[in-house]
Amino acid sequence: DTEVTQTPKHLVMGMTNKKSLKCEQHMGHRAMYWYKQKAKKPPELMFVYSYEKLSINESVPSRFSPECPNSSLLNLHLHALQPEDSALYLCASSQDPTSGTIRYEQYFGPGTRLTVT
Amino acid sequence: DQQVKQNSPSLSVQEGRISILNCDYTNSMFDYFLWYKKYPAEGPTFLISISSIKDKNEDGRFTVFLNKSAKHLSLHIVPSQPGDSAVYFCAAGGAGSYQLTFGKGTKLSVIP
């Protein structure tokens, strides 16, 4: 099973709202990722969690707050977003590439289409 | 500076023929290469990968070729099917790194 699930599929929120995106995988992967993707662009890395600890934060504004409650779950908490934050938010998981494994392809979820009004 | 380049934004191929998508990279530290397929408003789907210790990897209709000296890889799809119409992203990673560097994608259209 190579499935990563994400909820919700679509989200519309105002600039004063607080909402959360959720991601789940059951592949035993210990690295989980949040990406942002705008139309006709490649995915942009936002955060990486490794063994439930934040490993990489790509200078993402604090209005985005990631959380990894356990090895299967990843959340992205949203607060006071701007219209330019509207995008497809993708979760991905992989084996830990720092563990010496030779295969570390990332498996992506279907994404959450976020619109900020 | 783009470290992974897909110089063809689009490609049209007749159904049943071969599709060849190309990708060039500049960073010699990359040692793992991947191809993803993406439909609109969906997440990228992993297709096939290749390690730098190989020059070819095959999975069904999909074959990836790696030419390390030219820093070039290609994805061959044979035979092409209308369902293959999507955007294809090339990506590269380095040992011990969480980062994947993506190309800008090539939109493949397979004409019935």
Please give chain B's pLDDT, 112 residues, in tens: 789 999 999 999 999 999 999 999 999 999 999 999 999 888 999 999 999 999 999 999 999 999 999 999 999 999 999 999 999 999 999 877 888 999 999 999 999 9
Chain A neighbors of B44, CB-CB under 8 A: 43, 90, 108
Rounded to whole angstroms, how far apart are CA atoms B88 and B21? 8
Average pLDDT, chain A: 93
Contact flag A97-B102 (C-beta cutoff 8 Å):
no
Closest to B89 measured CA to CA, from B21, B42, B32, B13: B21
Interface residues of chain A, partner chain B, Cβ below 8 Å: 2, 4, 6, 31, 33, 40-43, 45, 48, 50, 55-56, 88, 90, 92, 97-98, 102-111, 113
pLDDT at A88 (0 to 100): 95
Quick check: B29 contacting A, CB < 8 Å? no
Assess contact for A111 and B39: CB atoms under 8 A.
Answer: no
Rounded to whole angstroms, how far apart are CA atoms A16 and B87? 35
Chain B neighbors of A42, CB-CB under 8 A: 89, 102-105
Q: Give the pLDDT confidence of A80-98 residue by residue, as tens digits.
A: 999 999 999 999 999 888 8
**Structure tokens of B96?**
């011990």
In a 10 Å sphere around its CB, with 0-12 CB exposed, 13-18 middle and 19+ buried, how is residue B19 labelled? buried
- Smallest CA–CA separation between B7 and chain A, in Å? 14
Range 51-90 of B in CB contact (< 8 A) with A: 51, 89
- Smallest CA–CA separation between A108 and chain B, in Å? 6
- Smallest CA–CA separation between A16 and chain B, in Å? 25
